[in-house]
Amino acid sequence: MVSLSKRLMILILSFILIILILQPITVLAEKSLVFDDAMLFTEDEIIKLQTEVNNLSNDYNMDIVIVTTSDTDGKTSREYADDFFDYGGFGVGDNYDGILFLIDMDNREAYISTFGIGIRYLTDARIERILDIVFDSGLVEDDYYGAAMGFLRGTKDYLEAGIPSNQYNEPEYIKPKNILTFTDVIISIIGGIVTSSLFYFTTKSRYKTPRVVNPFSYRNNSLVKLTLNEDKLVDTFVTHRIIPKPTNNSNSSSGKSTTHNSSSGRSHGGGGRKF
């Protein structure tokens, strides 16, 4: 009877063990969101930044990424930041929600790129204020860790404040390219010839030689008439009026998030500043 009980216990334990082995094991680990390719941070600073970005990313369910580089492969800071996020597999959800901060030592520019709901949180005006914090935190003085922490502080404040009530997305204006065709050249040449010819003959007809007047007509040429002209100050008076201060219309555009499309075709917001 004891042997049967042991066998039954062993069978049950074996069954439970098999189930545990077949079940997928989920390992919770921090996602790498700090990439110091330009080697601007110490190991200790990278650990601290990694902790901060992971906490902020988990709190708001988006990827907050910090990147440094000394070689953009000929790309602008905006192009490099957008491509790093898109092709690096970052972004949460179907809209790839996230925010990326780039310190570009190649183009000497600090750039903030936004994605998904990050575009709505960080409007153009908010990005400019965060860049103010970044620069005030030591970017120009080569305190790159301080600048990165300044970015995180400014971003956290605006994430806590929420999406502005007047927020809206507006695609950036792209000036159309002027393409000059062969037909345009021919029409321009013919039009120029016709216009210049009309102008030439019209002007020539106006400058026909006038009738010559006797230059020695001393009677007509020597008449002089002098008149006395006096200006009298009658009275003076002074008026005063209050000049109103110009109306501040900055609030009308404070909620605007200017968007553009990256090389992947996704919509991004963002802004940068040279240092």
In a domain, 157, yes or no: yes
**What does DSSP assign to residue 21?**
H
In a domain, 15, yes or no: no
In a domain, 245, yes or no: no
* Residue 113's CATH number: 3.10.310.50
In a domain, 191, yes or no: no
Q: What's the structural domain count of the chain?
A: 1
pLDDT of residue 25: 41
Q: For residue 222, how many other CB atoms are within 10 A of its CB?
A: 7
Cβ-based neighbours of 85, under 8 Å, separated by 6 or more:
63, 65, 91, 96, 98, 100, 113, 115, 268
pLDDT of residue 226: 66
d(CA 123, CA 269): 8
Helix axes 144-161, 43-60, angle to 10 degrees: 10
86 neighbors 251 (Cβ within 8 angstroms): no
d(CA 110, CA 131): 8
Whole-model pTM?
0.66
In a domain, 179, yes or no: no
In a domain, 170, yes or no: yes
Structure tokens at 264: 């992947």
Domain range for 151 is 34-174+254-274
d(CA 52, CA 145): 12
pLDDT of residue 73: 95
pLDDT of residue 241: 62
Structure tokens at 48: 């601290």
pLDDT of residue 109: 98
d(CA 159, CA 147): 18
* Segments of the chain with pLDDT less than 70: 1-11, 13-30, 175-180, 182, 184-185, 200, 204, 206-229, 231, 233-253
d(CA 83, CA 87): 6
pLDDT of residue 192: 76
d(CA 27, CA 244): 65
In a domain, 79, yes or no: yes
64 neighbors 50 (Cβ within 8 angstroms): no
In a domain, 82, yes or no: yes
